[in-house]
Structure 1
Amino acid sequence: MSETRGRGRPRKDPEKPARWTPPEGWSRLVAWVSPEEKKALKHVAVEAEVSVADLVRSLAGGLAAGVIDVEELVRQVRKGRQVMEKIPTLFERDSSFRVVDRPRAECAWVFEGEGTPTEKLDGTNVRITVRSGLLVRVEKRRNPSKSQKLQGIVDGWYVDTDEQAVEDKWILAAARNTDVSGWPDGEHPCEALGPRIQGNPLALDDHLCVPFNLEVPAYRDVPRSYTGLRDFLAELESRYAPGHLAEGIVFHHPDGRRAKIKRKDFPRAA
């Protein structure tokens, strides 16, 4: 015996068509978002008791009316892009994934002498939120899966750590072992380091987080050619853990752009 389905929820006004007709002159804006981003938007929409569409329209309306500070919004967007976009490697790669002496066009500013070179730390990328000198949130980086990459999703995003998850244990230990009392309020991208993270190449005794925007050591007189960087990195000592080799260099441009090169990017010496 087949089950009879009940009628769906009736429209508020049966006389009106089910489809909504936008006002004259309106246009449709479409954007692809990750599942986590979609969930975040829905969470805010539920808190505000509106639909996601109304949430986006409210943002656009606030900008159009001058209620939202454009400069602050742009700053936050750029900050998010700096944190989450994959940092390009200085040189192109060959079939064995080693770099060759062919600079990437998007990194031309490095070879023109721009940007500050800093030590690239080999750990796990996290983001720490601080309020009034207290740790209030710890997030970890999630990279797109192979199937997501095939769909055009190339940049990673942050997700909350889980107190009960075994894989988050040492990330949380590093965050809690870090003194954030002097950090300004806000979200700070960091590298989580320590004995149980990424093999601990710097042989650290404790777990901790190093904020990219506050404490990462800078280098002077770094060469900016293929052979120069190859030879420089072969013997570059870590400023953060003297006596150990640094993983590589990250160049920071004043406008937020970054570019990186690691010792292991170069072909092994014959």
Structure 2
Amino acid sequence: MSNPTKDKVELESGNLTDFPKIYCPFIRQTFKVNRDDWKKFGSRLQLRSPEAYLVVDRVNPGYEWVFEDPETFAVEKLDGSNVKVLTEGGRLIKLQNRKNVIDPLQIIKGKTFLIEGVLMSASKGLIKPDGEQAGELIGPKLQGNPYKLDIHEWYPFDTAIDRLRYRSFEEHERTFDNWSDWFKDWLFSRYYTKRASKLGLTDKVMAEGVVFYNLKRKAEGKTWRAKLRRDMFDWYISDKIEIYNYDKKGRDEIEEQEKFD
């Protein structure tokens, strides 16, 4: 959880605040997988070693609000790269990709696609004239370009809350099995669906996952975000890679959740 006092000091000094780690509302546990299967498909499924970090049907302590609080809602988690911007008087002062500060004037051998994404968003009126904003950079050079973009775009998280919310989330019981079914077959990208509609396209793209928000808890200074991705479920890899001893009930041994991305 971010420190409000530290954040205020950093902003006043012109520094960007850190990206706070967002945790999963379910407990994640490590499961060994078949090494031969991993050698064939691990890279494609983004498994760095022959093991998978999967969710089980146990609530991560402190995240009961995701399941119980009616103020909680779900927003599409875009599949790109975290980027923060700092503006003053409509001028771009600083740019940060995860923990790396980017010089916005470095156009030779620099990451110009980051600037392209920010400028594209500015042209759409998505960037505030003053202050810090965080968002997701998406486009051709990122994550295989699932949204089939021709140029990069930086999408503020505040805009995602407004435009990429899953309204059907409130209509169903918040259980492991319900969310597993939803994520497997029905979690279509809200961003791409809107884009496809404007272009007259009818195909579908699966979302990477969702971020759960609770703005009431944010105002109270409590943990107010959680994330859940499709690749955290066993079915995401089990059709190609054998998982050893997976049971959705999980083990009594609780691993440190900090180590999971």
Q: What range is the shorter-chain TM-score in?
A: 0.5 to 0.7
Q: Are the counterparts in 2 of residues 175 and 209 from structure 1 also a CA contact under 8 Å? A: yes
In the other structure, the counterpart of 2:187 is 236
Deviation at 1:111, TM superposition (A): 0.9
Q: Which amino acid aligns with 1:99?
A: V
1:168 counterpart = 2:111: yes
Q: Are the counterparts in 2 of residues 83 and 189 from structure 1 also a CA contact under 8 Å? A: no
In the other structure, the counterpart of 2:212 is 251
Mapping for residues 156-235 of structure 1, pairs under 5 Å: 159-161=101-103, 163=106, 166=109, 168-179=111-122, 181=125, 183-184=127-128, 185-216=130-161, 217-222=164-169, 223=172, 224-234=174-184, 235=186
Moved more, 228-237 or 159-168: 159-168
Q: Which amino acid aligns with 2:118?
A: A
In the other structure, the counterpart of 2:254 is none
CA offset digits 1:108-147 (Å, max 9, x no partner): 11011342211100101000122334433221112xxxxx
2:86 alignment partner, one of 104, 129, 143: 129
CA offset digits 1:71-119 (Å, max 9, x no partner): x958737999996211001211222311111110121110113422111
CA offset digits 1:224-247 (Å, max 9, x no partner): 211111111122111111121111
Q: Are the counterparts in 2 of residues 249 and 262 from structure 1 also a CA contact under 8 Å? A: yes
Structure 1: 5+ residue stretches without partners: 1-71, 143-157
Structure-2 change in CA distance of 1:90 and 1:167 (3 Å): farther
Secondary structure class of the residue paired with 1:236: coil
RMSD: 2.9
Q: Using structure 2 for the length normalisation, give the TM-score.
A: 0.62
Q: Using structure 1 for the length normalisation, give the TM-score.
A: 0.60
Q: Are the counterparts in 1 of residues 126 and 159 from structure 2 also a CA contact under 8 Å? A: no
Quick one: distance in 2 between partners of 1:214 and 1:225? 27
Quick one: distance in 1 between partners of 2:17 and 2:27? 21
Quick one: distance in 2 between partners of 1:208 and 1:132? 22
Structure-2 change in CA distance of 1:232 and 1:164 (3 Å): same
Q: Are the counterparts in 2 of residues 129 and 137 from structure 1 also a CA contact under 8 Å? A: yes
Quick one: distance in 2 between partners of 1:102 and 1:241? 32
Answer with 1 or 2: which has the greater Rg.
1
The number of residue pairs the alignment matches comes to 184
Mapping for residues 104-123 of structure 1, pairs under 5 Å: 104-113=60-69, 114-123=71-80
Q: Which amino acid aligns with 2:153?
A: L
In the other structure, the counterpart of 1:51 is none
The structure with higher relative contact order (CA 8 Å, sep 6+) is 2
1:267 counterpart = 2:223: no
Quick one: distance in 2 between partners of 1:231 and 1:77? 44
Deviation at 1:215, TM superposition (A): 3.6
Structure-2 change in CA distance of 1:77 and 1:102 (3 Å): farther
Structure-2 change in CA distance of 1:252 and 1:196 (3 Å): same
Structure-2 change in CA distance of 1:202 and 1:81 (3 Å): same
Structure-2 change in CA distance of 1:124 and 1:229 (3 Å): same
In the other structure, the counterpart of 1:52 is none
